[in-house]
Amino acid sequence: MLPIAQQINQSLALCGFTLCKGNIMAGNPELCLSRAEWARRFAAFIREATPENLLGSSIYFDLRVVWGDEQGCEQLRRGILDQVADNRLFQRMMADNALRNRPPVGRFREFVLARKNGEKATLDLKVQGLTPFVDGARLLALANGIETNNTLERFRQLVAKEVIERLDGAAYEEAYHFIQQTRMQQHQLQTRRTCPTPTASIPTASIIWTDASCVNPCARPNACKAA
């Protein structure tokens, strides 16, 4: 299995999909586990909510089947939901961890920009824009027994369960769509400009006024507040 997984990783890299710097890939021997081994690891994540385990939860709990029988994946997902539902401390720590990625809007509704290594201040549409929605939807879905992994579908099911208000759910969905679209547009622009590694970080000067007026209020909602 490992040689095939490693070959797939390298083939994707040749197609332009950058290899994960954290080695969270199928070709990593530490991540090529049986269902029982994954179940034990997930249980440890929930039982011992260390910073490392909380990070692992945010990565691995959104598991899905790529190929083959779905029964094993469904059993793992059901086990996760059952354990998280009975562990309020884990839910609280997951919420605290998710709230570290704040929407990039200041007190006076101005953008809060990031600056790295002396570079120009930029807006990270992935970390500052999409991640608060993804983390908030994941937390509320796990706490309320929702099995789907798709962020937008999680919002819809949370509305159906009356965990969040219908208008809030619609606002989160529209905001998520818009930020994702803006991110993809920026990737296309970077690719046309022969940028070797397109990123989600963009200078606000590159966002036209109509985009900025939408991104700013879109960045405000934080689904974790509903917890």
User: What's the structural domain count of the chain?
Assistant: 3
- Residue 49 belongs to a domain: yes
Regarding whether 52 and 127 lie in a shared domain, the answer is: no
Tell me what pLDDT residue 10 has: 92
Query: Which residues of the chain are modeled with pLDDT < 50?
Result: 208-210, 212-214, 217, 221-227
Regarding whether 133 and 179 lie in a shared domain, the answer is: yes
Tell me what pLDDT residue 113 has: 60
Regarding whether 187 and 109 lie in a shared domain, the answer is: yes
Regarding whether 154 and 72 lie in a shared domain, the answer is: no
- Residue 93 belongs to a domain: no
Residue 171 to residues 81, 165, 181, 214, Cα–Cα distance (Å) = 26, 10, 15, 12
pTM assigned to the model: 0.76
Q: Is residue 18 within 8 Å of residue 24, measured between CB atoms?
A: no
Tell me what pLDDT residue 103 has: 66
- Residue 63 belongs to a domain: yes
Regarding whether 217 and 138 lie in a shared domain, the answer is: yes
CB atoms within 10 A of CB 100: 9
Regarding whether 119 and 81 lie in a shared domain, the answer is: no
- Specify the residue for token string 């997902």: 77
- Residue 94 belongs to a domain: no
Regarding whether 121 and 201 lie in a shared domain, the answer is: yes
Regarding whether 126 and 24 lie in a shared domain, the answer is: no
**What residue spans of the chain are helical by DSSP H?**
2-14, 35-47, 51-60, 71-85, 88-98, 131-143, 151-160, 166-192, 209-218
Residue 227 belongs to domain spanning: 99-227
Q: Is residue 158 within 8 Å of residue 164, measured between CB atoms?
A: yes
At residue 202, the 3 state secondary structure works out as: strand
Regarding whether 72 and 104 lie in a shared domain, the answer is: no
One-character DSSP codes across 4-21: HHHHHHHHHHHTT-PPPT
Regarding whether 68 and 22 lie in a shared domain, the answer is: no
